[in-house]
Amino acid sequence: MDLVSFGQTVFAGLANGALYAFVGLGFSLISRSTGIINFAQGEFAMLGAVLTGLLTVHGIPLALAVPTAVLVCGLIGGALHVLAIQRAERANMAQLIIMTIGFSILIRGAVTWGWGSDPIVVPAFTGSRPLDFFGVTILPQALWLIGTLAIVTVLMWLFFHRTVIGLALRAGAANPLGAAFVGIDHKRLGAYSFVAAGLLGGLGGAVWAPIAFAQVDLGVALSLKGFTAAALGGFGTTFGPIAGGLIFGLVESLSAGFVSSAYQEAIAYGLLLVILIVRPQGLLGTIKRGATDDHRAEVLSAGLMPTRITRSDVVRFAITTVIVLVLGSALTGSWLTSAIFAGITAIVVMGLVLLTGYAGQISLGQGTFMMIGAYSSGYLTLKAGWPAIGALVFGMVLAGAFALVVGRFIFRLRGYYLAMASLSLLMIGQTLARELASITGGPNGLPGIAPFSIFGAQFFTDEQFYYVVLVFSLLTLVAALSIARSRVGRALLAIRSDELAARACGTNVMWLKIGSFVFAAACASLAGSLYVHYLGIANPLPFGFNASIFQIVALTLGGFLSLWGSYIGSAIVLAFPSVIMALGGASTSQASAGLQFLIFGLLLVCVIVVQSNASGRRIAGGVRRVIRLGHRSNVVAA
Amino acid sequence: MSAPVLQVKDLSVQFGGLRAVDSVSFDVRAAEIVGLIGPNGAGKTTTFNCISGVIVPTAGEIRISGETVTPFAPERACALGVLRTFQNVRLFGELSLRENIMMGAYSAGACGIVSAMLRLARHRRLERLAAERADYWMGRLGLIEYANSAATSLPLGLQRVAEVARAMAANPTIVLLDEPGAGLNKIEKKKLSDVLRSIAAETNCALLVVDHDMDMVMGLVERLVVLDFGKQIAEGTPSEVARNPAVVEAYLGAA
């Protein structure tokens, strides 16, 4: 690569890096002020870009469009805090993570519903004629971006270190109660920080948009990359996200130039994983011990979960079996299809009940293991002539082994960091699935997979396959229930309640977390295998971040600790598209998908608010006590 | 005579320039109740944390039943026979009282997810063991009627007893009690003291109590170790220590 191309690559990297820095600054700002990590941060940048684009398309001059768009982003940020976060008084970290994921889905869904996912071209500020700098082509808009970043950085530093309010924000983040005693209202400051983060993200997006284009799908990648920028540089500093963003942008750009543009994403996310595991405080940050080591959770369930198999468990199992059998004969057509997908999703969610509900670890990357199952089944039955059941079991074992290896590293992380790490893993997996064409068939996948068969009996109609899914899901249910209602389940609940005290009782926390992770991975692999036998093709599409969203929504709606709820939550999530279509809420399938996400986002946020709000929990507890079939008595098996 | 259950030898902990603990040495024998007291900042909590593995000492060593154990991670403490209670009671909010105490017996054997899932004999045996121990201690300490209640819904006095029961379910060699009397009224403190004394007598388990509350400590312990500014300034029976001028000066200042 000659010097000019190198210079080109470097400059492109810096320009993208500046955008990541904007998003990262927003992450850092909210984190320093409230301790929350706002998963929706990237969506603010997307909004800034899209709104600017929409306004200019409708004839509004750029000089007016940009500030308007940025202001709207700020307002939305503030609204999210005031309407949702402030009402979730006692939300724990897992609930807050899910709430901000809800924000992200909500914003994305709203934009998709309102506008669609077509890219919008945004005019540049000072014309798009590139400048020439020693042979390197430089877009003036990129200079605008970097310049704006520089100004914003200086202002931010001055704010945090030279104003009283900035000091108050930092104090409030470090010790909200103590700060309250000296008159610092952390609710108001939290709202201001969300507004500011919205402004920052929106500004970055608006100024960057003319360089490429504005599109609704930008948000998720930007959230991840902005998070990487902040993590790489250090969350708690002003210059950290700047340095992190620029470095990250450079790494991404250089790896595209020198290695391959296909693997650029995988390398970038790989970098994030390495940073999180090796140096979570970032390059410029300092490690804050103590607070994170001592994790005591707010009690999640309104009543106590049993840790032995009770009579009510047997009754519920019987009822569940009857219901799913009846549905099998009653459902037809697209409802049957939805039921099949719901059953497959429920299998993944059951694994998540153990991993996220019981063990308290959020994973947004179950798709990775689904892909292992999917490609194992696909490749082994298609290319190696294995029987379907053998390939399926092989996939589960492989997924479990992979989870065992990854778990050792990934469970050094907690909370948001763990969630982001799991998502990075998924992104890397998706890239590998697209690129390792000899095994996976590339982006088009492996077509022509035979329907599921066992001992010669083939299940190729929907009605037949429904029963396959039914049996497998009930088996998974029994396995998960058996674990939950055992001393292991008790230990997991203990760790969730008070990890320090659990350690003092001699529980091996790491192994229990890894064990749950392995179980959840095996469940996901099973689901992935079933998926490809149903669709007849194995490709990466059904196993990406959207699938993770469905799983999280299903888990939240069904109840973190409820295995029965995994059926209910999955059914709701999968029935949604049909319901929306039937109600005529959207004109195109794209808009319908947008509306679906919008409602999912709202549901996630509302459920968390209800769960974590004192009065909300009293209502939920009352409802539960009515439904409960007397868990505490009538123990059946120890 | 067998080795003391706990031996603290020349324990020193230095944080930067501060000597939080300076060459502290004492023993605790089986069935003995020893108190560790001193004014604020004396180094009691730091010593306590060393014995429970939370902090690694800068110098000196700790021996359990004659074997040197330092340095060790806090999760190993239970396996070594060292159990502890906490200053702010840390029962498991998601579990009932009975299940909390059963958790004390968790490390009585190894049983992983597969054994649990398949309900192997190992799992059934460990569950029976845990249930037996929990039922025994609940009966012994008068907690049976609260067995199925949420552990954190009990009044504080009972919660402290429950925490002791959880520790005892692990069949410990020594239990470290961190301010067991905090937040209790006079009657509850007396009850707790009686319970602790009877436990030590019956099970041969040693108790090391760190506390500020003189009433509680004096009535409970057989021997006291007094720290001040990280150094050991006195050791002896409660009456001896109470008359020791160095101790009086440490607490009340020079006359």
pLDDT in tens, A310-320: 888 888 899 88
Interface of B with A in 124-143 (CB under 8 A): 124, 126-128, 130-131
Confidence of residue A184 (pLDDT cuts 50, 70, 90): confident
Give the three-state DSSP class for A371. Answer: helix
Q: Which residue of A has its CA nearest to B169?
A: A505
Beta carbons of B95 and A493 less than 8 Å apart:
yes
Interface of B with A in 222-241 (CB under 8 A): none
* Dihedrals phi, psi of B10, to nearest 5 degrees: 50, 45
Task: Tell me the three-class secondary structure of A475-522, residue by residue.
Answer: HHHHHHHHHHCCHHHHHHHHHHHEHHHHHHCCCCHHHHHHHHHHHHHH
Tell me what the mean pLDDT of segment A282-308 comes to.
58
- The answer to whether the beta carbons of residues A38 and A24 sit under 8 Å apart is no
Residue A402: domain span: 309-637
Q: Which residue of A has its CA nearest to B114?
A: A483
Q: Are strands B231-236 and A452-454 parallel, antiparallel or unpaired?
A: unpaired
pLDDT at res. A240 = 87
Beta carbons of A483 and B118 less than 8 Å apart:
no
Q: Which residue of A has its CA nearest to B88?
A: A501
* Dihedrals phi, psi of B56, to nearest 5 degrees: -95, 125
Asked if A232 and A108 sit in the same domain, the reply is yes
pLDDT at res. A472 = 95
State chain A's mean pLDDT as an integer. 85
Q: Does residue A442 form part of some domain?
A: yes
pLDDT at res. A279 = 77
CA distance A372 to chain B (A): 22
Tell me what the mean pLDDT of segment A75-101 comes to.
87
Asked if A165 and A263 sit in the same domain, the reply is yes
Sign of CA dihedral A335, A338, A344, A345: negative
* pLDDT reading at A629 higher than 60: no
The whole-angstrom separation of Cα A313 and Cα A320 is: 10
Q: pLDDT tens across A538-591, in order? A: 889 899 888 998 999 999 988 888 999 999 999 999 888 777 777 766 667 778
pLDDT at res. B136 = 95
Q: Which residue has the higher pLDDT, A601 or A294?
A: A601
CA distance A170 to chain B (A): 26
**CATH 3.40.50.300 spans which residues of chain B?**
1-81+172-255
Confidence of residue A356 (pLDDT cuts 50, 70, 90): very high
pLDDT at res. A618 = 63
Give the three-state DSSP class for B250. Answer: helix
Confidence of residue A256 (pLDDT cuts 50, 70, 90): confident
Which chain A residues are closer than 8 Å to B52 by Cβ? Answer: 504
> Residue B176: which residues within 8 A CB-CB, separation 6 or more?
B48, B51, B52, B82, B83, B84, B85, B208, B210
pLDDT at res. A294 = 43
* pLDDT reading at A638 higher than 70: no
B109 contacts chain A (CB < 8 A) = no
* pLDDT reading at B34 higher than 90: yes
pLDDT at res. B96 = 92
A89 contacts chain B (CB < 8 A) = no
A518 contacts chain B (CB < 8 A) = yes
Which chain B residues are closer than 8 Å to A632 by Cβ? Answer: 96, 148
B91 contacts chain A (CB < 8 A) = yes
Query: CB atoms < 10 A from the CB of A359, how many?
Result: 28
Interface of B with A in 167-186 (CB under 8 A): 170
Tell me what the mean pLDDT of segment B197-202 comes to.
91
Which chain A residues are closer than 8 Å to B107 by Cβ? Answer: 505-507
* pLDDT reading at A473 higher than 90: yes
CA distance B197 to chain A (A): 22
pLDDT at res. A292 = 39
The whole-angstrom separation of Cα B254 and Cα A208 is: 71
The whole-angstrom separation of Cα B167 and Cα B90 is: 12
CA distance A406 to chain B (A): 18
Task: Tell which residue, A276, A384, A352, A362, has the closest CA to residue A519.
Answer: A352
CA dihedral B198, B204, B210, B212 (to 10 degrees): 20
* pLDDT reading at A516 higher than 60: yes
CA distance B238 to chain A (A): 30
Distances (CA, A) of A339 to A342, A343, A559, A569, A595: 5, 6, 19, 12, 21
Q: pLDDT tens across B80-100, in order? A: 999 999 988 999 988 999 999
Q: State the count of interchain CB pairs (< 8 A) between A and B.
A: 119
Q: Chain A interface, mutation test: which of B83, B85, B113, most A Cβ atoms within 10 Å?
A: B113
B90 contacts chain A (CB < 8 A) = yes
* Ranges A71-85, A342-356, B11-25, B110-124: which has the least confidence: B110-124
Query: What architecture is domain B1-81+172-255?
Result: 3-Layer(aba) Sandwich (3.40)
Of A304, A509, A515, the CB nearest to B95: A304
Extract the tokens encoding A541.
Answer: 């599409």
* Ranges A364-378, A581-595, A618-632: which has the least confidence: A618-632
Q: In the 8-state DSSP scheme, what is residue A296?
A: B
Number of domains in chain A: 2
Confidence of residue A288 (pLDDT cuts 50, 70, 90): low
Asked if A380 and A508 sit in the same domain, the reply is yes
State chain B's mean pLDDT as an integer. 89
Of B77, B99, B112, the CB nearest to A515: B112
Asked if A267 and A322 sit in the same domain, the reply is no
* pLDDT reading at A287 higher than 60: no
* pLDDT reading at A104 higher than 60: yes
Among A260, A278, A296, the domain boundary falls at: A278
Beta carbons of A506 and B170 less than 8 Å apart:
yes
The whole-angstrom separation of Cα A251 and Cα A240 is: 16
Could you write out the DSSP letters of every residue in A41-100? HHHHHHHHHHHHHHHHHTT--HHHHHHHHHHHHHHHHHHHHHHTGGG-TT--HHHHHHHH
Asked if A341 and A243 sit in the same domain, the reply is no
CA distance B81 to chain A (A): 10
Which chain A residues are closer than 8 Å to B127 by Cβ? Answer: 308, 486-487, 638
Of A297, A479, A486, the CB nearest to B123: A486
Give the three-state DSSP class for B21. Answer: strand
* pLDDT reading at B208 higher than 60: yes
pLDDT at res. A289 = 42
Tell me what the mean pLDDT of segment A485-498 comes to.
91
* Ranges A263-272, A504-513, A568-577, B193-202: which has the least confidence: A263-272
Beta carbons of A509 and B75 less than 8 Å apart:
yes
Q: Does residue A287 form part of some domain?
A: no
Which chain A residues are closer than 8 Å to B91 by Cβ? Answer: 498, 501
The whole-angstrom separation of Cα A575 and Cα A567 is: 12
Residue type (1 letter), B79? A
Distance, CA of A433 to chain centre: 19
Asked if A412 and A486 sit in the same domain, the reply is yes
* pLDDT reading at A613 higher than 80: no
Q: How big is the CA angle at A174 (ends A169 and A180), to the nearest 5 degrees?
A: 65
Of B77, B90, B103, the CB nearest to A490: B103
Q: Does residue A285 form part of some domain?
A: no
Tell me what the mean pLDDT of segment A405-422 comes to.
87
Q: Does residue A465 form part of some domain?
A: yes
Q: pLDDT tens across A135-174, in order? A: 778 888 888 898 999 999 898 888 888 888 778 777 776 7
Residue type (1 letter), A314? V
Residue type (1 letter), A236? G
Which chain A residues are closer than 8 Å to B128 by Cβ? Answer: 638
CA distance B66 to chain A (A): 21
- The size of chain B, in residues, is 255
**DSSP H or E run through A571:** helix A563-583
* pLDDT reading at B180 higher than 60: yes
Tell me what the mean pLDDT of segment B229-243 comes to.
89
Q: Which residue of B has its CA nearest to A517?
A: B113
Confidence of residue A297 (pLDDT cuts 50, 70, 90): low
A517 contacts chain B (CB < 8 A) = no
Share of chain B above pLDDT 90, in %: 50
A625 contacts chain B (CB < 8 A) = no
Share of chain A above pLDDT 70, in %: 91
* CATH classification at residue A87: 1.10.3470
* pLDDT reading at A275 higher than 90: no
Confidence of residue A476 (pLDDT cuts 50, 70, 90): very high
* Ranges A47-61, A66-80, A321-335: which has the least confidence: A321-335
Q: Chain A interface, mutation test: which of B103, B122, B129, B152, most A Cβ atoms within 10 Å?
A: B103
pLDDT at res. B1 = 54
Asked if A241 and A318 sit in the same domain, the reply is no
pLDDT at res. B253 = 66
* pLDDT reading at A278 higher than 90: no
* pLDDT reading at A196 higher than 80: yes
The whole-angstrom separation of Cα A116 and Cα A114 is: 6
Asked if A626 and A578 sit in the same domain, the reply is yes
Of A487, A502, A504, the CB nearest to B116: A487
Task: Tell which residue, A168, A528, A124, has the closest CA to residue A365.
Answer: A528
Interface of A with B in 266-325 (CB under 8 A): 296-297, 299-301, 304-305, 307-308
Of B75, B103, B113, the CB nearest to A483: B113
The whole-angstrom separation of Cα B200 and Cα B33 is: 7
Of B92, B127, B150, the CB nearest to A501: B92
Q: In the 8-state DSSP scheme, what is residue A137?
A: E
